[in-house]
Structure 1
Amino acid sequence: MTLSTEQAGFYLAHVQAEAARLGEVGRMGLEPAVPSCPGWTVDSVLRHVAQVYDHKIEVLRLGARPTDWPPDFSGRETLEWFDEARAAIVAALEKVGTAAETWTFSPRDSTSGFWYRRMAHESVIHRIDVEQAYDIVTPIEAELALDGIDELLYPTLGGPWWEEGDTEHPVDATVRITAAGRSWTIRLDGTSVEITQGAEGDAAAEIFGDPTPVFLWLWGRVADDAIQIAGDEDVVRAFRGRLAECTT
C-alpha cells in the first residue's frame, strides 16, 4: 500500500490512541470476561494484542515472517508487557516507514504500509472488546470505521483463502454493504470471495447502517439489531459465518 504522509499519520495516531485506551481499560482490572470473545478475559485480550505487536515488530525487522514463533511469553506480567509492546510497535513503524518490502498476508501489498493500517484496526477492535467487558464503549471515528470495513472485506475476507472449499458456509450469492454513502459488493461461492467497490448489479441481501455499527457487526462485536438488513436473511447469516471463519 502506498500511503501518503497524511494517511501514515492517521493510522499511526490511531495505533497510539487505541492502544493507550486499551491499556487504560486494562488497568481497571484484568479479570472481567469479554462478551464478544467467549472464554477470553480482559487479560487475554491484552496478552493477545501484546503478542501481535511483538510479532509485527519482528516482521518489520526481518522483512519476513519470524521462525520459531512465538517465544515463551508466559512469564511476562500483562500490563508491563502490553505497555512495552505498544510503545515498541509505534517505534518500529516509525523507523521502517511505509514503503519497505516485507511479509504481509495481502496478495496485493507487500509493503510496511500494510502494517500501519492493520495495526490501527487490530488496536481499535480489541479496544472495543475490553470496553464491552466493562460496558463503557466509546466512539470510533467514522473515517476509521469506514476504512475498517474496507480492510476487513479485502484482504481479510477476499483473499485467496477459499480455493480448497474449506468453509462451512458455501453460500452462493451476492451481498452488498453500504455505509455513509460508500458501497461494497461481495460475490461469494464455495471457493471464492470477490469484492468490488460500488453498488452495481443485483444483490440477494443488503446490509447497511452507520459506519461504526456496520464495522462492529462485520467483526461480530454487535448483534443484528445494530444494523439494517434487506433481502435474504439466510444469505446474511451465511455471510456472517464466512466472516467468522476468516477472523477467528
Structure 2
Amino acid sequence: MGLSAEYYLDQLATESARLREVAELGLDAPVPSCPGWTVDTVVSHVAQVYLHKVEVLRLGALPKPWPPEGIDERDTLELYDEAALAIVAALTQAGTTQQTWTFNPRDSTSGFWYRRMALETVVHRVDAELAHDVVTPIAAELALDGIDELLFPSLGGPWWDESWTKHPIDATVRITAEGRSWTVRADATSVTVLQGAEGDADAEIFGDPGAVYLWLFGRTSDDAVGFTGSEDVVREFRGRLSEATQ
C-alpha cells in the first residue's frame, strides 16, 4: 500500500461521489475510452467491482459463483449507491492488515484493496467524464501512486510465463512524472519494474502525473504526454499495457 489508508478512503469517497455526479448527466452517453460502453455500463461495472470486493474481504477468498443472480436487473444508480457505501464500510471494518485474496503476489492484505478501489474509481470517473466532456484533474499524488500500481502488479506481475503476449517487446522503457521515474525491462516472458532512472532506456514516456497515468491506462491520446526514443518500442509497450489492464 503506497499511501495512507486515510488518504485512500478519502480519495475513494471523493472519486465515487464525482462518478455519481457525472452519471446524473446521462447514463446513455457513449464512453469513448471504452468502445461499446455507456456511462450506465461504467457505473454498473464499478458497483459490481465494489460489491465483489466486499465479498472478497468478507470471505478472504474469491466469491463463487459471481456475480449474484439478478444483479444485472437492479436499477443502476440504486445499486451504485448501495455498493459505494458498502465498500467503504467493508474496508473500514477490515483495516489494512487482514489476510485476504488479492492479485498482488507481494501483498495479501486488505490494505491492497484500499489502494485498488481508490484507483479503480478514479479511472472510471474519468471514463464517465469523457463521455460528457467534463474531465477534471486527478490529484498528482494519487496519479503517481496509480502509475506505480499499474507498473506493478498489473504489468509486472507473474502473467507472462506462457508467452501469450501479442506484444513481445524486448526493450527498456522509462516512465517519468514530477521528478519520479520507473524503469521497465520487458521481454516476451517477463516484465521487471525498477524504481528510478538508472541505465539506458530505448524509450521514455514523460509528463504530468495525471496525463501519464491516463496514457498508460489508454484513456488519453499520445499528444497528452511526451516521448523520446523508439516509436516502435512505445507502441509495443502501450500494447503490452493494454493486455495487462483488460
Counterpart for residue 18 of structure 2: 21
2:61 counterpart letter in structure 1: A
Instruction: Within 5 Å, give how 1:30-109 maps onto structure 2.
Output: 30-72=27-69, 73-109=71-107
- The amino acid that maps onto 1:67 is K
Could you tell me which of 198, 219, 222 is aligned with 1:200? 198
Instruction: State the Cα distance separating 1:27 from its structure 2 match.
Output: 1.2
Distance 1:162 1:136 in 2: 37
Q: Distance in 1 between matches of 2:222 and 2:5?
A: 33
Structure 1 stretches of 4+ moved >6 Å: none
Encode CA deviations 1:43-98: one digit per residue, 9 max, x unaligned: 00000000000000000000111111111212200000001000100000001100
Q: Identity over the aligned pairs, expressed in percent?
A: 67
Match of 1:182 in 2: 180
In 1, the alpha carbon distance for the partners of 2:137 and 2:104 equals 28
User: Which of the residues 121, 128, 131 maps onto 2:119?
Assistant: 121
- Secondary structure of 1:230's partner? strand
Please, what is the CA RMSD of the aligned residues? 0.9
Post-superposition offset of 1:239: 0.2
| Alignment partners' CA distance in 2, 1:120 and 1:139 | 15
TM-score when scaled to structure 2? 0.98
Q: Secondary structure at the match of 2:72?
A: coil
Instruction: Indicate the residue corresponding to 2:162 in structure 1.
Output: 164
- 1:228-243 to structure 2, matched below 5 A, reads 228-243=226-241
Deviation per CA, 1:127-146: give whole Å up to 9, x if none: 00000000000111100000
What one-letter code is carried by the residue in structure 2 that aligns with 1:146? L
Partner of 1:74: helix, strand, or coil?
A: helix
> 2: distance between equivalents of 1:171 and 1:96?
40
3-state secondary structure, aligned to 2:4: helix
CA distance in 1, matches of 2:225, 2:161: 30
Q: What residue ranges of structure 1 are gaps of 5+ in the alignment? A: none
Note the C-alpha offset of 1:195: 0.2
